[in-house]
Amino acid sequence: MSSIPQKEFTAEYYDQDYFKTPKGKKFRKPDGTIDAWSYANETGESSGCKPIVEAWKNIFQCQTMLDVGAGRGTLVAYARQAGVEACGFDFSEWAVNEGRYAKCKPEWLKVHDATKPWPYSDKSFDLTTALDLCEHIYLDDLPFVISELHRVAKKWIFLQTAIAGSGGLQGRDEEGYILKKGEPVPIELEGCACAGHVTLRKENWWYEKLEHEDWMPRKDMVNWFISLVDPSTIRNWLLNSIMVWERI
């Protein structure tokens, strides 16, 4: 039986089966047979976090950082180890509580819905990151989430977003798809949507959505970041979209 919700991906979908259990989330293939997927990460550990955080610290000279959609808090913990005053929040109660990365202290991570007002003041963080977040946000909620990104970030925003056309779970065609709340996921998209991806579009579409008079895209900073991190560490990121925005 498919794990895909009939009406909406809620916080409950992002549970142990999503993060930890091998092939914990089941989906229907176009021929009607059942397959499964999950992050299948027992502890939440990721060795790639250390070089990523070191690159951020080098490039952005950040002293404070917010990780939006922080999952189990692994990057937050590594940022703290690197001397950055980092914190984060995530939709998933399981990820923040029972499944939290062992080196991430409880006070660094909280449960919060990104589509509700963020509990931070304006320009609170030197660097605000959102990794594999935007594609999980329904189109109707995107304007609010983007406005909150712009609001709490003092200087820099770093985004990594799954985009259409990159293959695998990220999407199989050039234009991608947009799923709507309250509507069932078509069977031909269940293999893509099982990761919780509801808004899958091309990179240029995202640049247009994030455009703001107070912010400018910095593709040169993206290239600098890529030059500092081993390609094998960010292989999936390179298949998708990495964006850096600077407040002007």
Q: Which of 80-84, 104-108, 175-179, 240-244 is the least confident region? A: 175-179
Confidence at 175, pLDDT banded by 50, 70, 90: confident
Tens-digit pLDDT profile for residues 34-57: 999 999 999 999 999 999 999 999
Q: Does residue 168 register a pLDDT over 60?
A: no
Give the residue from 148, 230, 195 showing the smallest Cα distance to 40.
195
Q: What does the pLDDT read at residue 173?
A: 60
Q: How many CB atoms lie within 10 A of CB 6?
A: 9
Looking at residues 212-240, what average pLDDT do you find? 97
- Over the chain, what is the mean pLDDT? 95
Token pair for residue 74? 């692994």
| pLDDT (0 to 100) of residue 165 | 78
Angle at 146 between CA 140 and CA 147, to 5 degrees: 105
**The CATH number fitting domain 48-247, selected from 3.40.50.150, 3.40.50.620, 3.90.76.10, 3.40.50.970:** 3.40.50.150
- Which pLDDT value is given to residue 105? 98
With 60 as the cut, is the pLDDT of residue 117 above it?
yes
In which band, very low, low, confident or very high, does the pLDDT at 167 lie, cut at 50, 70 and 90? Answer: low
User: Does residue 171 surpass a pLDDT of 60?
Assistant: no
Q: Which two tokens stand for residue 131?
A: 């990794």
Residue 63 predicted with pLDDT over 70: yes
pLDDT at 207: 98
| pLDDT score, position 115 | 98
CA–CA separation, 162 vs 145, rounded Å? 17
b/e map of 203-214 (b: 16 or more CB within 10 Å)?
bebbeebbeeee
Strands (DSSP E) contained in 74-167 are 85-90, 109-111, 125-131, 153-161
> Domain segments of the chain: what residues?
48-247
Least confident window among 82-91, 150-159, 169-178, 196-205: 169-178
pTM of the complete model: 0.96
pLDDT band at 174 (very low <50, low <70, confident <90, very high): confident
